[in-house]
Structure 1
Amino acid sequence: MAELRIVLLGKQGAGKSASGNTLLRSQSFHTAAGSERVTRTCVMGRSTLDEQEIKVIDTPGWCDSPQLETDIKQEIIRCISMSSPGPHVFLLVLPIGRFTNEEINTVMNIMKEFGDEVSKYMIVLFTKGDDLEERPIEDYLKELHSDLKAIIQIYGGRYHVFNNRDKSNQKQVSSLLMKINKMVERNEEKCYTTAMYQKAKDQKSDEGRQQCRREKDNSVPDESKSHSTNQNGDKRSRHDGMKGREHRGISEAGKECSQKWKTQQQTRDTQHRECERIKQFTMEVESEKWEKGEEQRRREKPGEDDKRQRSYEVDDAIRRYGEENGEISREIKTLKHTIKQLNESIIKNDALKCMWSNERDKLITKIHELKTEVMIKNNELKQAEMKNEELKQQFKEQTEMFEKMEKLWAQQKTQDEKTKSHAFFDFFQSLFNLK
C-alpha cells in the first residue's frame, strides 16, 4: 500500500501523542507528564517506514464535560476530512492499569459516535507496556474488565502493546504495522469514510427520535423512580447471589459467576438506557429552545436564514466533493496499480526477449563454430583421401617395378646358367684337348 492513514482515539492522558511519536519515530506531537490535555486540535504527522508512507492524526482526548465533548466531536469530524478519503485504521489508546467506570463510558461513547461500521477498522493499543514488568499481555487480558474484553472481541480480537519509554525498540512498531496491514488487506484496502460517519449520526438521530416518542408517554419522575428501583433491585440480587454462592459448592462457582455477569450486564444496560432517555429528553428540550431562538432570530434578521441555508448547502457540496474526490482517488490508485503491473509485465517481457536474443546469438555462434569445424574435418578428410590415392599409385608403381625386376632377375639367372654351362663345356673341352 502506498499510504497508510492512522487516527489515534482515546481518553485524555492515555498516551495518544506519545504513541504517535513512537509510531513515527520522531517528536511530531507535543507530550507532557500527567493526565492533563495537551492536544486540543487535530494534528497530523508524516513519516516513511519500511518504504511505506505513514500519516498519523492525533486527536484531542475525550472527557466527561458535555461542552468539551461537543468541541472534541467537531475536531474528530475534522480528523476524518484531514485523512481524506478516510483513515484505514483507528487506534483506540488505553493505558494499562485499573479501568474505572468513567474510562469504560468513554470507550462506549467513542463506539457510539462512530457507529457499528468502525469495528472493522479499530485496533486496541495498550500503552505503558513497561508496567507489565515482562508479564505476558495475555495474562493481563484475563484479568481485564468484562466490558473491555467484549469490546476487544467486537474489534476482532485485535490489540497491541506499546512501551513509549523504550524508543529504541522498533520491533513493537514493525509488529503493529504488520497487524494494521493485515487488517487493511482483509478490508480490501477500504477506509472509514465520511459517509459511514454520517450514516452513524443519522442512525443515532433516528434512535433519539424514537426515544423521544416513548418519552412522551412516560414522565421523567417515573423514570428516575424506576431507575432507583432497578438499582436497589440489582443491589439486592447481587447481595443474594453473593450470599448463595458462599453456601454452594465449587461445582456451582462457574454457573454463579456467569449468572452474576449476566445480571450486571443487564443492570448496566438498563442504567444506560435510562441515562440515554434522560439525555434525549434534555436534548429535546434544548432543541425546542434552540428552534424558538432560531425563529426569533429569523424574525429579527430575515437574511440570516438564507445565509445559513447557503452555508449548509456549501458544506453538503464540500462533503459530496470530498466523497467524489475519494472515489476518484481510489480509481486513480487502482489505475496506477494496473499501470504498475503492466509496466512490470513489459519489463519481464523485455527481459525474456533479451534473454532469448542472447541465447539465440549463442546458438547461432555455436552453429557457425560447428559448421567451421565440419568444413575443416571435410578438408582434412579430402586431403587424407588424396594422400591415400597417391600412396596407392606409388604402391602400384613399386609393384610393377618389382615385377619387372623379377623378370630381369629371371632372365639374368637364365643367362648366367647358360654362361656357366658354356664355361664348363669349354673347360672340359680344353682338358680333352690336352690329353
Structure 2
Amino acid sequence: MEEEEIIEPEENTTDEARVNVDPKEIRNTAILIVGCTGAGKSTLGNWLLDENLFKTDFRMDSVTQVCQTISIRIDGRDFVLMDTPGIFDEVGNNEKHLPRIEQLVNLCTYGIQAIILVIDIKDYHNFERTVRIIKKFFGNGVTNHMIVAFSNVSKDQNETNRIESRLNSSMKEFLKTVQNRWIISPNPDVFKSDDEVVKRCMASIKDMILKFGNAYHLYNFNEARYVVIYIFHVQVGNSNIYIQYNYVAHKSTGFHRSFLLLSFLVSVML
C-alpha cells in the first residue's frame, strides 16, 4: 500500500487548534467528519475550528484527497478533528480512500468521540448508498456515535432551523436511528463566522459531541472486518521457511482487496 506522507506538526499558536497533527502522535479522542464529495466536510470542520484551516474549494471534485487532522479544544476537552476524503469520489475512488480512512481509524487508540456525517440536503441520490457504506465500514453500532450535518440549506431554513419539508422519507427514518442528532452546517457564502446562526449551530453540535458517553473504540470497528491468514512453506536447501501473511479485509461490499498488510512472520527451522 502506498505510504502516506507525514507532515511534521507546527507549533500550537492558539488554544483551539493546531495544524498538521502527525497521525502517529494522536493522543486524544477523535472526531471524524465523513460524507460524499462536495458535501461540505471541510467547511464544517472550519466552522468548528472557527478558522479556515481545512482546505476547501467550490469545485465538485474532492479537495481532500488524504485525511487531514487538526487538534481542537471544546469546553476544555482536547480532541483530534479529522477531515476525510469524499465517499463516491469521482477523482479518487473508494478502494483508494477507504483504506486511508481505515489506517487513520486504526491510529485512534483513544477512540472516536463522534462521527459527523455531512449530507448535502439536495443530494437524495447518494444518501442511501452513503449511509449503507458507512454502516458496513464502521459497523452498525456507529449510529450510537453519529451526528448528521445538513449542508446546502437555504438562508431562511438556516435562520429558522427548520428543514423537515426538505427531507425525504429515508432521511427522516435515518435521523431516528441517530436519535435525531442533527444540525445545519451554514453556507459560508451567506453567513460569516461571527453570525448568530453560525454560533448557534456550532454550539449545538459541540454540545452533542460532549454528551456522548464512552468513545467508539477499535473493537467496535473491528467487528466489521475479518482476517484471513495464509501460511506459506518454502524449502531452501536444508531450511524450512514458514511465512505467515495476515490479510485484513472489510466486510463492506466491493472492498475486499488492497487493504492493510499487517505483518510478515518468518520462522526458519533448521
User: Could you tell me the TM-score, scaled by structure 2's length?
Assistant: 0.68
Q: Distance in 1 between matches of 2:87 and 2:129?
A: 10
Gaps in structure 2 of 5+ consecutive residues: 1-26, 248-260, 266-270
Cα distance, 1:174 vs. partner?
1.6
Cα distance, 1:4 vs. partner?
5.2
Structure 2 residue 105 is the aligned partner of structure 1 residue 80: yes
Structure 2 residue 72 is the aligned partner of structure 1 residue 47: yes
Q: Distance in 2 between matches of 1:304 and 1:143?
A: 63
Taking a change above 3 Å as real, the CA distance of residues 314 and 181 of structure 1, as seen in their structure-2 partners, is farther
Structure 2 residue 187 is the aligned partner of structure 1 residue 158: no
Residue 28 of structure 1 aligns to a residue whose secondary structure is coil
Alignment of 1:31-110 (within 5 A): 31-63=56-88, 68-100=93-125, 102-110=126-134
Residue identity in the other structure for 2:134: I
Taking a change above 3 Å as real, the CA distance of residues 64 and 13 of structure 1, as seen in their structure-2 partners, is closer
Contact 1:9/1:61, CA 8 A, preserved across alignment: yes
Structure 2 counterpart of 1:174: 203
Contact 1:59/1:79, CA 8 A, preserved across alignment: no
Cα distance, 1:17 vs. partner?
0.7
Alignment of 1:259-278 (within 5 A): none
Contact 1:162/1:172, CA 8 A, preserved across alignment: yes
Taking a change above 3 Å as real, the CA distance of residues 193 and 306 of structure 1, as seen in their structure-2 partners, is same
Q: Distance in 2 between matches of 1:163 and 1:145?
A: 20
Taking a change above 3 Å as real, the CA distance of residues 298 and 78 of structure 1, as seen in their structure-2 partners, is same
Using the aligned pairs only, state the percent identity.
22
Residue 306 of structure 1 aligns to a residue whose secondary structure is strand
Q: Which residue of 149, 170, 193 maps to 2:217?
A: 193
Q: Distance in 2 between matches of 1:35 and 1:197?
A: 30
Contact 1:91/1:125, CA 8 A, preserved across alignment: yes
Higher strand proportion (structure 1 or 2): 2
RMSD: 3.5
Residue 224 of structure 2 aligns to a residue whose secondary structure is helix
Residue identity in the other structure for 1:112: K
Residue 19 of structure 1 aligns to a residue whose secondary structure is helix
Taking a change above 3 Å as real, the CA distance of residues 72 and 132 of structure 1, as seen in their structure-2 partners, is farther
Contact 1:80/1:193, CA 8 A, preserved across alignment: no
Alignment of 1:24-423 (within 5 A): 24-63=49-88, 68-100=93-125, 102-134=126-158, 136-138=160-162, 140-165=163-188, 166=191, 167-168=193-194, 169-182=198-211, 184=212, 187=213, 190-202=214-226, 306=243, 308=245, 312-313=262-263
Contact 1:8/1:90, CA 8 A, preserved across alignment: yes
Gaps in structure 1 of 5+ consecutive residues: 206-286, 288-293, 316-435
Q: Distance in 2 between matches of 1:157 and 1:304?
A: 56
Taking a change above 3 Å as real, the CA distance of residues 64 and 36 of structure 1, as seen in their structure-2 partners, is closer
Residue 147 of structure 1 aligns to a residue whose secondary structure is helix
Taking a change above 3 Å as real, the CA distance of residues 43 and 134 of structure 1, as seen in their structure-2 partners, is closer
Cα distance, 1:164 vs. partner?
4.4
Residue 84 of structure 1 aligns to a residue whose secondary structure is coil
User: Could you tell me the TM-score, scaled by structure 1's length?
Assistant: 0.44
Higher helix proportion (structure 1 or 2): 1
Contact 1:3/1:52, CA 8 A, preserved across alignment: no
Deviations 1:196-235 (A, max 9, x none): 1111224xx9xxxxxxxxxxxxxxxxxxxxxxxxxxxxxx
Contact 2:30/2:110, CA 8 A, preserved across alignment: no
Contact 1:14/1:93, CA 8 A, preserved across alignment: yes
Taking a change above 3 Å as real, the CA distance of residues 54 and 164 of structure 1, as seen in their structure-2 partners, is farther
Contact 2:37/2:89, CA 8 A, preserved across alignment: no
Deviations 1:260-296 (A, max 9, x none): xxxxxxxxxxxxxxxxxxxxxxxxxxx9xxxxxx99x
Cα distance, 1:126 vs. partner?
0.9
Cα distance, 1:146 vs. partner?
1.4
Q: Say which one has the larger Rg.
A: 1
Deviations 1:154-206 (A, max 9, x none): 11111111114122232321221112212x1xx3xx1112211111224xx9x
Residue 88 of structure 1 aligns to a residue whose secondary structure is strand
Residue 72 of structure 1 aligns to a residue whose secondary structure is helix
Contact 2:138/2:221, CA 8 A, preserved across alignment: yes
